[in-house]
Structure formats: structure tokens, C-alpha cells
């Protein structure tokens, strides 16, 4: 032990740390040079230890470190780097006098006491590394809460899918994969799952609620199967059921339900996807022959992306402009045969194959062109419009525009099935990534064992916030389904808007969640065997089909605006006073200086605060968008231009509306949960959902002066804190989705 | 013409609009009921037109509409719905008296004058629909500006790739695809592109700058080829060159450059990906036999994801813990033969196939296990450490930790090649989506022709902001490359941090941009033929390999913190005064009330304002993260826990640093651009980059009180405005990437 030993920790750190550089050696040299308690010989000796041209040997470094270790072991109360240096020097008085210089040296080298001392200490436990999964609620009860009334159908589907015939199939040989998916569809049809929503008279069970549960449960398996199933029994079958009449039901429905009659839903054309009102396929009526001639006037008017078309479809519901005696009666629907019973394409029908896609390669999407294809008069799906016996056009809905949207409106069920399917895929991804994060260890405290990556705060944010959102979307979609099942004609437009909006919100959520899951699983997430590949790529198109999300969100916004205008239009003076009073009340209770900067835990975690904040944002955005549009148009701008100028704002209007609905439904679900332990976990999830959304929108809240910076900062911390607190529940919460291992299938999530 | 005709537009709208409902009919009935200028007979007649049980016929609706049209045509100055009603009524005095009632009615029905009138007017042009591509600068000159000094290498690679042997190959048959990619690699090696960076003595051209340009240009083609090429000539070759010595260069380098000796870079293990310091493969030295025995102690220690391993690699640079006489000398690198010249796996080597992946299926990633594989002493890559003649360990770098990071540091080039490759992929995606957006038409003003979707504001935000970012990243990566090529030892750590950070930022950017491109192309973007599939899925793993982005960003943050601490440590009193003065100046010039709410165009578009805002954010985040960490550790928290608590903030520190570097480099590039027209377009892009980033971070700026809400709102509008102004340049700016049609290949972007 010599007084020069005071330098050992500084030397050791300088030579071993990968962030220190030559500059540090220079700093040490200068420091040594000015210490008058060192002799020239001592200085010379010290200089040799920091000579860049002749570094100490590895053994010297090992020796230094072991001496430091010993000293720390002998003096467990050493609390700072200087204390350590002082002990190493044998409590030398010169060292003691130089204390300030040593402190300055540590600063120059950028060393932090606590951080550095840990490096020298023995392996130790930390809060971070000791966090782990705890079972604090009954997983089975949580599953019951999620599955609710349709648990039976869900269970049944999961059991069927867990049997050997449904083992996953290689998706790279497209032809074989398509056949496999078709076979799977037949097996499901044999189980009478395809016709479950059809009337009992046609082999069904009249059980629309279970149909949605089936779609949801199927989506824990191969998503090509879900889409093929949806095309056949949903789009093709339901278009016949809902746009056709008795004669069509009689003729087709039973065979559709058994998959004896595979068919397509041929709406989209190459040139018209979102703007379906502009479809160009024509159906020209000829009264003499009592037939329609279906025709594709140019290649851009071919049907495109049509599921079941490339291989298996024998018929299609074709949407085409109806022409009678030269008059265009807008888009109507017709049943058109495509192939004979042997699978041969019929005359006049030309079918193309869309070829390989990013995902869903088990679905045979194709193009269809019609060359003067003649079909009998009865093939018009004539629930909403028909040709009468005199050859004239007849409809209860006089406006072509309105009639077309009424027809589309009957098909709104698709916009419920799709987000429920997307959510299942997101749940699968989250279950895989969360289970992997719970077991995968990487890095750790110096000398300690490695830590499960789910213990890292950023990893928690990446997976637990989406987990909270998955629960939130689950209950919002249950609500949407209930609204749909119990709808009256009066609700139709509200439900259509809600379905369009939830379709967009949930499919976007699935896209983002699966992206996070992929990255959170690192290289393992890139291997197809772990299924995030298929989950992400198969659901990728969910944001586009059944209505492009951006277009749908504009529809939602327009609906909100129309509602808003009417509400104002209908207001009489006393309503107006009420409205102003409401706004004043908000100003008094929410937007006052105390509320704006209230950062107490009780307030930040208060569900009422969350809901008020969501509602405020919704109303404020809607009102300002309405005002802005009115101002632009009043100032002479073309309405079409005005909507374009405000397009970004319109999307925000729709988003805020849907976020509020989702929160409301999640909160309602929490309060209706009977099991107290499940309720407690859900409550935390719900708070995390709410606060993470507020955090996402904090720019808006600050702009609107609804919150001050101190509050949004406190919310960020609270989000981190909630993630930390929910971490032990993460695996049980993912397991509550009850995805059978046979379906989850990812080795990183199912193998020990 | 009768006074009751005043109602025609209201009736027509009620029956035809798809958003109006039964309520509106009731409102109309009530309205009619209280009009005393109507006779009972007239009211009765009007009621029949709005009877929901007996709607008017379609012909009636058509008749109404044509009468409305005629009236508008005859009276072109009609400017409101009421004016129209008044004219239709034959300027009836009763109608005139009821004007206020009519206005109220329009409100009740939620009708906006301007919007409604357009519906009745003939097809018209709008600002939105008439926007289009304009050539305002010379595309060739812009390409020259982008390619700069390495234009020759870039050109050459593009020409080679445009020849027939490089036609795209089906990626679904994995075996065939891997062979095709291997063949392509040979063709490139024959063109002496593989060895371009190697010393001339070993068949190379000593041209590292061109090597990066080659990687960048190759990335406009198949990305499996790029990665296979990078594994062989970059990882395998450069590890031999940079970690080995003369004897290794002599023995291997030439054959690596010609692809006579295909090899691997075997670092990652199943249990250690990010934390490579923890690798568990061992290399045990035996002095008697002068050999190392390489061994995989357990399955978790197998090498995983190793490119070139599953099929073609004959040797590998293997990273393993060196054990000499029972002492662990940390991770070192060794050349280990895997296969003989016939491709047979050698004894003791067990190779697995990683199987299908999300993308890059032309690369044969595999696992490698070593069962006591003996290699001669000279196979240790011994530039940084070696076994001396006495059998002892020797190194100029005494610390195992530091030595390992020095070795890794020499391989930093990979973190330059990867983001440059990712950026090329993003450019391809943007070129495809922007060209499609310019020609794809959907929706339009009522009665007018459909509008190119790139004219919609939200579509512009989705594609033009990423386009601006692509240019920004391009110049930042050029800067990084230059720093690397001109580095001195002193810069090494800064360059490593910058490379790690840019790798993360650019690969995340590519991920997001390609996601937007996919959605922006709708169904067409989902078809593999349009290449966004491959671009997205192949680059998906870029955020993980060569260092997980989240981990890298933490390294960057730690580097920034260390720099910050040292800067403070080294400050003497006068520096400190300077620092305080700098902060005060910021407060005076940037954070004063006038600047905080300055929303003039001149200020918002001022590059100095942008740079100041970026710098302020960078410094403020760094300082507060440093303070927070110090406080947590001073308060007794374990340093490891403290870094975990502040992890989210650390990522923000790194991001803000990199955003500032990117902006700085883009601004510098703009000012160095000689062609005035190119410069003008780049200037707009640079402003869009800067303001869109500030918009993204507006929550932070508002929290920090650096800007007020009025200013962030003005910035949002300015971003929209810049997008609108750049829209005509979008296609030329994408064409300046000069991606040959043969490589871009997407039918939606290359076929008329």
C-alpha cells in the first residue's frame, strides 16, 4: 500500500472504459504534475502507468482491479470514488489535502461516483433485474370476461383449429397453400360454421353474434383462412342474403353455406377502389330477351383483387352500372356465373391471377373481365331496385346515390369482422412478444446475471401500451357488435360511421402493434417460424380493404360534422344557453389554472379526468373543424377545395371521436367486471390506455391550453410508472387471450 | 314555375343525400306546417313529396334536378341556397318574407350554402383537381448533386444491374433464390466490385468511398444480393483485413474478393445478440499442439442468423472467448473452416438452416455449432491480441473490455453501409408511391373529373414529408461517410456514435417511409409485383441487425452524456461564464415572448430559426438527462436502475442529437448547391424537413415553453403549405434518385 495507489481506480477506468480517450491520459498527466505531495520519483512512476506508447500489461490491470476489490470488501462503507482512493493510499494525508483536486479530476474524466463504484463491486441484485411475472388474478376468469356471451362459439373454433388437419401449412408454394386453405374452409363448412349467420330455413342458425366470434377466433390461426372464409360466407353469401330476395336465398344460400357453391364479391375495379360509386362495369337490360349483358368497357374497369376469383369461385356478386334504355340507374348488384361445375371458365369471362402478394397468399385473388356476358333477368339482386314487368326501373329509394349507399350499408358487417380479426392478430403478436420478453435476457447490472428484456422501461412502453390498447379495442369492438346486433333503422348511419371508424382504428393499431412486436423480438421476430412475419404481412392489407382507412376516417369526420351542424341547426335559444353553459362549466372545472397544472397522482389516475380530457378534445376539434370549413366556404372557396385544405384536421376529428368511444367502452367494461382481481388489473390497463393517449396527444392539449407542461410531463412519468407496475401482470394478461399453443405456435413463445 | 318549387332543392337534397335521415323529413314537415303563405292545398301537395311511405319516383328526382340546373344556368349570379329557392318560386313574395325561416331550415338540415350549390352546378375545375407535376429544375443536375464524387461507381453498378442476367428472380422458391443471389454475387465479383475496398496488393482498389457507393446503388435492386454481398466482401472480408495481420491478408483476401472463398461473420449467438460481450463460444489455447479448440458449450451458445452459413460459406470469422491456461481473455476472433472445397461440412461443425424469414430469403442464414473444433494457432486474427511464442497472451490494449470494443470499432463501416442501403430502399418505395400518386385518380369535385391522389393534402403529408427526410438522410449519410474516410484516431468514438445513431435513424426512417408507401398505393402496394412487399420485408431486419436500434440509441446517448460531463468537468471559470452567457443569450433571442409566438412566414421559414430550435432541444434534453441521472444516483439509486428509469429520456437525447446533425448537414448541402433551380427545390425540402420535425416534437417545445400554441399551430399550417407547394416537384425530385426502370420495375410506376 502506497500513497500512489490512490490513482489505481482512475488508471483502471482510463484504460478499461471504452468511452475514455487520449484526452483523459493528458488530463491525468496534468493532474499528477501539479500535485505537490508527490515526489518527483513518484510522479515518474505514475507517468509510466499512463504512457500511451507503453500501456500497462493486462496482468497489471487485473492486479489493480483485484486490489480495488479487496479494499472495497474490507471497507464496505466506502461511498465515493475519493473515499476509495483515500483508503487505497493508506489514508495518506497528502491525498486527503488534494480531495478537491480529485473531485475535479473525476468531473474532468466524466466519472459519476455511484456509477463507478458499482463497477468495482461484486455481483448485486437491482430493482430492474429482480422484476418478474406474478399471478395476481385468475387468468381463466379474465378469459371469461373477454369472451363473454359468445364463449361457446369461440371455444369450439379454437378446439377445431387445434386438431391435426389444421396444422400450419407452408405458405411459400402458393398453389398448394391455396388448396390447403380451401380444404380448411370445407372442414369449417362441414362444422356448419360458414352458415351460422344465415336463416335457419337455409341451413343456418340465424346467429350473427356467433359469426363474428368465429371470425375473431379463426384469426388466431392462419389469416388466409379467415379471409377466404369471410369472402365465401360473409361477402358472397351475405351479399346474396342482404341484397337479394327470397328467390335468390332459395336458389343459392344453402349451397353457399356448405361451400358447394364457392363465389366472389366483385366490386372493386382497377380504376375504382375507394370511389366505388364510379364503377364502370355495365349491366345493360334488354327487355325483349329479359336479360342483362354484363360488360367490361376497358381494362381499367376490370374487377381486381377479387378473392376466390383466381381459382375456386363459381359465381360472383358483380357490381355494375345498370343501363335501361340508355338511362344510367347507378350501381346495382347481379349474380354472374364464372365457372362451370368442373371449374372451367365460362364463355365471355376472362380471369387473371393477382399473383404473389405481401401476405394472404392462401387467398386466390384475381381479376375478372366480362365480354358481353348475358345473364337472365332474375340474376339481379333486387331487394333495393328491380326491373318491373314492363321493363321499367323500380325502386323504393328514388335517389341512385342514396340507394347505392343503402346497399353498401347493409354490408356493414364486414367492417365489424375485419377489425375483430385484426385485433386477434395483434393479440397473437403481443402474446408472442410479451412471453419472449419475459424469458429473453440481455445485459444486466455489472457482474450480475442478465435481465429479462421486459424489465427495461422502453421495452415495457413498446409492449405494454399496445397491450392496454388491445384490451381497449376489444371492448370497443364488443360494443360496436352489440350496437350492430341491436340496431334500428334510425341508428344505421351512426353504426356505419362507428364501424368505418373502428375498422380504421383497429387495423391501424394492429399494424403498429405487430411492427413493435417484430422489433421487440429482434432476430427471432424475423424468422417465419415465430409467426410475426405472417401476422404482420397478412394484416397489412386490412388497412386498405373493406375501405381504405384514410377514406373511411373522412367519412367518419363528415358524419360527425353533419351531426354537429344539425345539432346546432336544431338548437333553440334555451339549448344555446345550455351549450354555452356547458362550455363555461368546462372552463371552470377543467380549464382553470389549478386543473391545468394538477399533477397529483389521484387526479392523474382519475377516470373522470381521462374521460373529460378525451371529450374536450373531441368537441373542440369538431367545433373548430366545422367553423374552419364554414369560414373557408363562406369566403368563396370551392367546397371540394375547402375539404382538402382541412383534410388533416378532419382526420383528427374522426380520431378524437373514436378514441373517446374506445375509452368510454373500456371504462364501462371495467366497471361491469365482477371479479375484483381481474377488475384491478383491467383498471390499470384502462388508465394506461387513457394516459398513453393523452401523452400521444399532448401537443394538442398544450396548444389548446387544456394542460400545462408540468402536467404533461407528470403524465409521461405516470405512463412509465404504470408500465412498471403492470409488468408482473403482462404475461397473465396475454395468456388471458387464451390462444392455444397449437395456434400461437411460435417456438419463442411456446417452447420452454 | 310555382311558389312551391322553392322547396325543390331541399327535397332533392333530403332524398338523395346519404347522410340525411327520417329526422330531416320531420323537420321539413314542421317547416311546411308553419308557413302561412302556403295554402292548405299547397301544403298537402308538398307533404306528398316528403312522405317516407311513398317516396317520389326516381324520375321525379331527375326532373327536380334538371329544373334546378336550368334555373342555375339562367341565373348564374345565384349565390345561396335561398336565392335559388327564391328564383325557383318565380321570385314569390311569400318565399321572400320567409327568408329567415328558410335559412333556419338549411341549418336544421345541416346544409352549407357553398357546398350545396356546387352539387347542382356543372362540372368545374377546382384548385385541388388542377394541381400537377411541373419540371422546375434539371433532374440530371439534381442527380449529379446527390451522387457527387462517387457518381462513376454508382453509374457503373446501375448499368450492370440493368442487364439481363440481373432480372429479378422469384423469391418464393428459397433454394433457387439463394443460388441466384450467389450467382449475382459472382458476377459482381467478376466486375471487381467485391474487392474494391481492399488493398491493391490483394487485388483491390483501395477505394472505400466507392465501396459504400456500390452498396448504395446495389440497394436499388434485390436487397438479398446487397446483404449477401455485404456479408462476403464487407463482414467476412473486412474482418480478415481489419482484425487480421499480413499473414491473413496474404492467405485469404484475394480469394475473398473474387468469391473463390465464400465466408461468414459468426458473431451473434442465440443467447447473445445485443450483448455480444457475453458471447459463450470458447477458443481454448493449447501450447503444446499450438492450436485452439473452438467449442459451443450449450445450444444457447450456438452462432445464429449467420449469413452465408446455411449453404455457401467455407470459412468464418468466429468470435469466441479466448481461454489460455484457465484464464478468460475476453472475446477474440478466429478463422474457422466450415466446409471443404466440395461444400461438405467439416468434422465437428454442425450447421442448421434458419429457414424462411420475413425477407432476405436469398441469403442463406444459418446456425453453427462447434464440437471441439481444432484450428492452428495462426488462425487467430491477431491484430489486437496474440499468443506469444511462450504461449502467453499479449496485447497492446490491456483491458479485455476496451480491446473488444476497439475490435468492434474497426468494423464501424458496416454501420455506414446499412443505412445507406436502407435509404436506397426507401427512395425506391417513395419513387414508386409518388409516381403512382401522380397518375392514380380517385374522387373529384362533383361532376368534375377525378383528381390525382397526390393532390390530396393528407396524401402529400404521407409522401412528401418522407421525401424531404430522404434527402435529409442522404446528405447526413454523405457527411458520415466523409467523416469515416477522413477519420483520425481522436475522432473514432465520435464517428462510432454518429454511425450507430445514423444506422438507427435511417433504418427506422426507411421502415416508416415504406409503410406509408405501401398504404399510399392501396391494393396495388400489396401486390408483390410492385416491389413494396420486398422493399419493406427485406429492410425490416435492418432495424435489428448490425446492432438493435434501441440499444444503439442508448450507446449514442451514453456517448453524449460522457461528452457533456467532460465538457463540464473541463470548464474553468471563464468557460462557465461563457456557458451561462450562451444560455442567457438563448433566453433573450429565442425564448423571449416575441420569438415564442412569432408566426410570421419569414420567421417560420428561416433556416436559422430551425437550427436554433433543433439545437435548443438537443442541449436542453441532454442537460436535463444528465442532471436527472446524477440526482437519481446521488440519491442512492443503483446506476443500472437509474439508467433504466431514464431510458426513455436517453433515447430522446440521442434522437435530438441526430436530428440536429441531419438538419445541419442538409442545410450545409443546400448552401453548397450551385445550380440555383436545384437549390430552390432543395431549400423547400429542407424547410419541410425542419418544420415537420418541429411539428413532430411540438409537445416537447410547448412543454419547454420554447414556443406557444399559436406558433406550433402556424407551423402545422406551414407544413401543409410547403407540401402543397412542393407537390409539382414531387415526381422530378423522385426521378432525381435516378433509379433505372429495370430496377424500379414496379408496373404502377414504370408503365404508362
Task: Encode pLDDT of A301-320 as tens digits.
Answer: 999 999 999 999 999 999 99
Q: Is residue B144 part of a domain?
A: no
Structure ipTM: 0.94
| Contact (CB<8Å) B637/A114 | yes
Task: Determine the pLDDT at residue B442.
Answer: 94
Residues B395 and B430 in one domain: no
C-beta separation of A685 from A732 below 8 A: no
How far, in Å, CA of A714 to CA of A720, rounded?
10
Task: Determine the pLDDT at residue A662.
Answer: 98
Residues A431 and A460 in one domain: yes
The band of B122, judged by pLDDT with boundaries at 50, 70 and 90, is low
Nearest CA in chain B to A104: B569
Which residue among A118, A357, A406 places its CB closest to the CB of B638? A118
Task: Determine the pLDDT at residue B27.
Answer: 85
| Contact (CB<8Å) B712/A703 | yes
Q: Count the Cβ atoms, other than its own, within 10 Å of residue A326.
A: 6
C-beta separation of B178 from B363 below 8 A: yes
Establish if A61 touches chain B: CB-CB under 8 angstroms: yes
Residues B305 and B443 in one domain: no
In the block, which residue shows the cell 356467433? Answer: A210
Q: Is residue A562 part of a domain?
A: yes
Average pLDDT, rounded, for chain A: 93
Domain-ending residue, one of A411, A436, A461: A411
C-beta separation of B553 from B651 below 8 A: yes
Backbone angles phi, psi at A328, to 5 degrees: -90, 115
Q: Is residue A154 part of a domain?
A: no
Residues B249 and B346 in one domain: yes
- How large a percentage of chain A has pLDDT more than 90? 78
C-beta separation of B74 from B91 below 8 A: no
C-beta separation of B194 from B259 below 8 A: yes
User: B672 CA to chain A: closest CA distance, Å?
Assistant: 34
Residues 6 or more apart whose CB falls under 8 angstroms from that of B582 comprise none
C-beta separation of B243 from B383 below 8 A: yes
Establish if B326 touches chain A: CB-CB under 8 angstroms: no
Chain B neighbors of A747, CB-CB under 8 A: none
Which of left, alpha, beta for A304 (phi over 0: left; psi -120 to 50: alpha)? beta
Q: How far is CA A536 from the centre of its chain?
A: 10
Residue of A514, A520, A576, A702 for testing the chain B interface, max B β-carbons within 10 Å = A702
Nearest CA in chain A to B173: A172
How far, in Å, CA of A402 to CA of A408, rounded?
10
The band of B684, judged by pLDDT with boundaries at 50, 70 and 90, is very high
Residues B389 and B422 in one domain: no
How far, in Å, CA of B632 to CA of B654, rounded?
20
| Region of poorest pLDDT, from A709-713, B382-386, B414-418, B586-590 | B586-590
| Contact (CB<8Å) A638/B113 | no
Residues B400 and B455 in one domain: no
Nearest CA in chain B to A709: B703
Residues A582 and A441 in one domain: yes
* Domain count for chain A: 3
Q: Is residue A128 part of a domain?
A: no
In the block, which residue shows the cell 329509394? Answer: A397
Which residue among B357, B450, B640 places its CB closest to the CB of A118? B640
b/e for B71-89, b at 16 or more Cβ within 10 A?
bbeeeeebeebbbbbbbbb
- How large a percentage of chain B has pLDDT more than 90? 78
pLDDT at B576 over 70: no
Q: Is residue A146 part of a domain?
A: no
The band of A21, judged by pLDDT with boundaries at 50, 70 and 90, is low
Task: Determine the pLDDT at residue B648.
Answer: 95
Residues 6 or more apart whose CB falls under 8 angstroms from that of A89 comprise A1, A2, A3, A4, A5, A6, A95
Domain-ending residue, one of B411, B441, B461: B411
Chain A neighbors of B621, CB-CB under 8 A: none
Least Cα distance to A480 among A216, A691, A682 occurs for: A216
Burial of residue B156 (CB within 10 Å: 0-12, 13-18, 19+) is middle
Task: Determine the pLDDT at residue B266.
Answer: 98
Least Cα distance to B5 among B51, B63, B73, B58 occurs for: B63
What does the pLDDT look like over B223-245, one tens digit per residue? Answer: 999 999 999 999 999 999 999 99
Show the cell assigned to B408: 468492434
Q: Count the Cβ atoms, other than its own, within 10 Å of residue A152.
A: 11
Establish if A395 touches chain B: CB-CB under 8 angstroms: yes
Residues B212 and B197 in one domain: yes
How far, in Å, CA of A110 to CA of A469, rounded?
41
Which residue among B18, B112, B638 places its CB closest to the CB of A402? B18
Which residue among B456, B569, B712 places its CB closest to the CB of A647? B456
The band of B123, judged by pLDDT with boundaries at 50, 70 and 90, is low
Looking at chain B from residue 524 to 563, which residues have their Cβ under 8 Å from any Cβ of chain A? Answer: 525-529, 532-533, 536-537, 540-541, 543-545, 548-550, 558-559, 561-563
pLDDT at A251 over 70: yes
Mean pLDDT of B266-273: 96
| Contact (CB<8Å) B523/A273 | yes
Q: Which residues does residue A41 pair with via DSSP β-bridges, in sequence order?
A: none
Residues 6 or more apart whose CB falls under 8 angstroms from that of B602 comprise none
Q: What is the CATH number of the domain that holds B498?
A: 1.20.140.10
Task: Determine the pLDDT at residue A752.
Answer: 66
Which residue among A268, A461, A703 places its CB closest to the CB of B648? A461
Mean pLDDT of A651-677: 98
Residues B450 and B581 in one domain: yes
Residue of A227, A699, A722 for testing the chain B interface, max B β-carbons within 10 Å = A699
pLDDT: is B666 or B34 the higher one?
A: B666
Ordered strands of the B366-370 beta sheet:
B303-306, B366-370, B349-353
What does the pLDDT look like over B703-712, one tens digit per residue? Answer: 999 999 999 9
Chain A neighbors of B448, CB-CB under 8 A: 640
Chain A neighbors of B698, CB-CB under 8 A: 699, 702-703
Q: Is residue B130 part of a domain?
A: no
Nearest CA in chain A to B455: A644
A to B CB pairs, distance under 8 Å: 356
H helices of A125-259, where?
Answer: 127-130, 139-147, 151-161, 174-190, 208-218, 223-229, 237-243, 246-248, 254-257
User: B620 CA to chain A: closest CA distance, Å?
Assistant: 15
| Contact (CB<8Å) A565/B107 | yes
Show the cell assigned to B132: 400537377
| Contact (CB<8Å) B305/A278 | no
Q: Is A180 helix (H, G, I), strand (E, B) or coil?
A: helix
What does the pLDDT look like over B152-204, one tens digit per residue? Answer: 999 999 999 999 999 999 889 999 999 999 999 999 999 999 999 999 999 99
Residues A555 and A511 in one domain: yes
DSSP state of A53: T
> Which structural domain range is residue B82 located in?
3-122
In the block, which residue shows the cell 436517453? Answer: B650
Task: Determine the pLDDT at residue A115.
Answer: 74
Mean pLDDT of B349-364: 98
Establish if B569 touches chain A: CB-CB under 8 angstroms: yes
Show the cell assigned to B540: 425490416
Average pLDDT, rounded, for chain B: 93
C-beta separation of A538 from A590 below 8 A: no
Which residue among B55, B444, B537 places its CB closest to the CB of A398? B55
pLDDT: is A55 or B580 the higher one?
A: A55
What does the pLDDT look like over B470-487, one tens digit per residue? Answer: 999 999 999 999 999 999
Chain B neighbors of A57, CB-CB under 8 A: 398
How far, in Å, CA of B187 to CA of B208, rounded?
20
Task: Determine the pLDDT at residue B21.
Answer: 67
Residues B398 and B449 in one domain: no
In the block, which residue shows the cell 501450447? Answer: B287
Beta pairing, strands A282-286 & A315-324: parallel
Task: Determine the pLDDT at residue B574.
Answer: 61
Q: Is residue B43 part of a domain?
A: yes
CA distances from residue B365 to B178, B275, B355 in whole angstroms, order as listed: 10, 20, 8
What does the pLDDT look like over A171-183, one tens digit per residue? Answer: 899 999 999 999 9
Show the cell assigned to B538: 427485406
Nearest CA in chain A to B699: A699
Could you tell me the end-to-end alpha-carbon distance of chain A, in angstroms, rounded to an integer?
51
H or E element in which residue A376 lies:
strand A373-376
Residues A223 and A81 in one domain: no
What does the pLDDT look like over A594-632, one tens digit per residue? Answer: 889 899 999 999 999 999 999 999 999 999 999 999 889
| Contact (CB<8Å) A629/B112 | yes
Domain-ending residue, one of A375, A391, A411: A411
C-beta separation of A402 from A196 below 8 A: no
b/e for B260-278, b at 16 or more Cβ within 10 A?
ebbbbbbbbbbbbbbebbb
Least Cα distance to B590 among B620, B549, B564 occurs for: B620
What does the pLDDT look like over A403-435, one tens digit per residue? Answer: 999 999 999 999 999 999 999 999 999 999 999
| Contact (CB<8Å) B405/A461 | no
pLDDT at B581 over 70: no
Q: What is the CATH number of the domain that holds B271?
A: 2.40.110.10
Task: Determine the pLDDT at residue B118.
Answer: 73
pLDDT at A567 over 80: no
| Contact (CB<8Å) B128/A644 | yes
How far, in Å, CA of A236 to CA of A710, rounded?
55
Residue of B24, B527, B747 for testing the chain A interface, max A β-carbons within 10 Å = B527
| Contact (CB<8Å) B528/A127 | no
The band of B586, judged by pLDDT with boundaries at 50, 70 and 90, is confident
Chain B neighbors of A522, CB-CB under 8 A: 273-274, 544, 548
Establish if B721 touches chain A: CB-CB under 8 angstroms: no
Q: Is residue A155 part of a domain?
A: no
In the block, which residue shows the cell 472475446? Answer: B331
Amino acid at each position: 500500500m502506497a500513497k500512489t495507489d490512490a490513482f489505481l481506480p482512475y488508471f483502471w477506468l482510463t484504460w478499461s472504459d471504452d468511452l475514455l480517450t487520449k484526452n483523459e491520459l493528458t488530463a491525468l498527466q496534468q493532474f499528477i504534475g501539479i500535485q505537490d505531495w508527490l515526489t518527483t520519483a513518484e510522479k515518474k512512476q505514475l507517468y509510466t502507468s499512463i504512457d500511451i506508447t507503453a500501456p500497462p500489461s493486462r496482468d497489471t490491470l487485473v492486479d489493480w482491479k483485484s486490489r480495488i476489490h479487496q479494499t472495497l470488501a474490507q471497507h464496505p462503507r466506502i461511498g465515493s470514488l475519493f473515499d476509495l482512493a483515500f483508503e487505497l493510499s493508506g489514508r495518506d494525508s497528502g491525498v486527503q489535502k488534494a480531495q478537491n483536486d480529485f473531485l475535479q479530476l473525476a468531473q474532468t474524466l466524466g466519472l459519476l461516483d455511484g456509477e463507478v463504484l458499482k463497477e468495482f463491486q461484486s455481483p448485486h441484485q437491482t430493482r430492474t433485474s429482480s422484476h418478474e411475472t406474478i399471478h395476481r388474478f385468475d387468468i381463466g376468469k379474465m378469459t371469461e370476461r373477454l369472451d363473454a356471451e359468445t364463449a361457446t362459439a369461440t371455444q369450439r373454433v379454437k378446439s377445431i383449429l387445434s386438431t391435426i388437419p389444421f396444422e400450419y401449412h407452408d405458405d411459400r408454394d402458393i398453389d398448394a397453400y391455396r388448396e390447403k386453405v380451401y380444404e380448411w374452409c370445407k372442414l369449417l363448412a362441414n362444422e356448419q360454421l360458414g352458415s351460422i349467420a344465415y336463416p335457419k330455413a337455409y341451413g343456418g342458425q340465424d346467429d350473427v353474434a356467433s359469426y363474428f366470434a368465429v371470425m375473431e377466433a379463426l384469426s388466431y390461426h392462419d389469416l388466409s383462412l379467415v379471409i377466404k372464409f369471410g369472402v365465401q360466407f360473409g361477402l358472397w353469401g351475405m351479399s346474396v342474403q342482404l341484397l337479394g330476395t327470397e328467390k335468390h336465398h332459395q336458389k343459392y344460400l344453402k349451397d353457399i353455406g356448405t361451400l358447394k357453391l364457392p363465389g366472389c364479391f366483385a366490386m372493386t375495379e382497377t380504376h375504382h377502389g375507394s370511389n366505388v360509386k364510379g364503377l364502370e362495369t355495365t349491366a345493360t337490360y334488354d327487355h325483349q330477351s329479359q336479360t342483362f349483358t354484363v360488360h367490361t368497357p376497358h381494362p381499367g374497369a376490370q374487377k381486381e383483387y377479387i378473392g376466390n376469383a383466381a381459382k375456386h369461385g363459381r359465381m360472383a356478386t358483380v357490381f355494375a352500372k345498370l343501363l335501361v334504355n340508355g338511362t344510367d340507374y347507378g350501381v346495382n348488384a347481379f349474380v354472374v356465373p364464372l365457372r362451370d361445375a368442373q371449374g372451367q371458365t365460362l364463355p365471355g369471362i376472362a380471369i387473371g391471377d393477382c399473383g404473389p402478394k405481401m401476405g394472404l397468399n392462401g387467398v386466390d385473388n384475381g381479376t375478372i373481365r366480362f365480354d358481353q356476358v348475358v345473364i337472365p333477368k332474375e340474376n339481379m339482386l333486387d331487394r333495393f331496385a328491380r326491373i318491373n314487368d314492363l321493363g321499367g326501373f323500380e325502386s323504393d329509394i328514388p335517389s341512385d346515390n342514396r340507394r347505392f349507399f343503402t346497399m353498401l350499408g347493409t354490408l356493414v358487417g364486414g367492417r365489424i369482422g375485419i377489425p375483430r380479426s385484426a385485433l386477434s392478430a395483434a393479440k397473437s403478436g403481443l402474446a408472442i412478444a410479451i412471453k419472449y420478453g419475459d424469458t429473453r435476457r440481455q445485459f444486466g447490472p455489472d457482474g450480475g446475471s442478465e435481465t429479462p428484456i421486459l424489465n427495461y422501461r422502453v421495452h415495457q412502453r413498446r409492449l405494454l401500451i399496445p397491450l392496454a390498447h388491445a384490451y381497449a379495442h376489444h371492448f370497443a369492438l364488443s360494443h360496436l357488435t352489440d350496437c350492430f346486433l341491436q340496431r334500428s333503422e334510425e341508428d344505421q348511419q351512426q353504426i356505419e360511421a362507428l364501424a368505418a371508424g373502428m375498422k380504421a382504428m383497429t387495423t391501424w393499431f394492429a399494424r403498429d402493434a405487430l411492427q413493435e412486436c417484430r422489433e421487440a423480438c429482434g432476430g427471432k421476430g424475423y424468422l417465419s417460424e415465430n409467426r410475426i412475419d405472417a401476422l404482420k404481412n397478412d394484416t397489412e392489407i386490412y388497412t386498405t380493404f373493406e375501405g381504405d382507412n384514410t377514406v373511411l376516417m373522412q367519412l367518419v369526420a363528415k358524419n360527425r360534422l353533419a351531426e354537429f351542424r344539425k345539432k346546432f341547426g336544431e338548437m333553440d335559444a334555451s339549448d344555446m344557453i345550455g351549450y354555452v353553459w356547458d362550455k363555461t362549466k368546462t372552463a371552470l372545472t377543467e380549464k382553470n389554472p389549478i386543473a391545468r397544472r394538477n399533477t397529483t397522482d389521484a387526479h392523474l389516475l382519475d377516470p373522470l379526468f381521462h374521460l373529460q380530457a378525451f371529450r374536450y378534445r373531441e368537441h373542440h376539434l369538431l367545433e373548430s373543424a366545422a367553423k374552419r370549413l364554414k369560414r373557408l366556404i363562406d369566403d368563396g372557396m370551392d367546397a371540394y377545395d375547402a375539404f382538402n385544405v382541412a383534410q388533416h384536421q378532419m382526420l383528427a376529428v374522426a380520431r378524437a371521436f373514436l378514441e373517446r368511444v374506445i375509452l368510454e367502452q373500456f371504462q364501462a367494461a371495467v366497471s361491469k367486471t365482477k371479479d375484483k382481481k381481474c377488475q384491478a388489473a383491467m383498471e390499470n390497463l384502462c388508465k394506461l390506455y387513457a394516459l398513453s393517449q393523452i401523452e400521444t396527444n399532448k401537443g394538442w392539449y398544450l396548444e389548446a391550453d387544456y394542460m400545462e407542461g408540468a402536467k404533461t410531463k407528470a403524465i409521461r412519468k405516470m405512463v412509465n410508472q404504470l408500465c412498471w407496475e403492470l409488468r408482473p401482470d403482462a404475461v397473465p394478461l396475454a395468456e388471458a387471450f387464451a390462444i392455444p399453443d397449437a395456434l400461437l405456435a411460435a417456438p419463442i413463445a411456446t417452447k420452454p
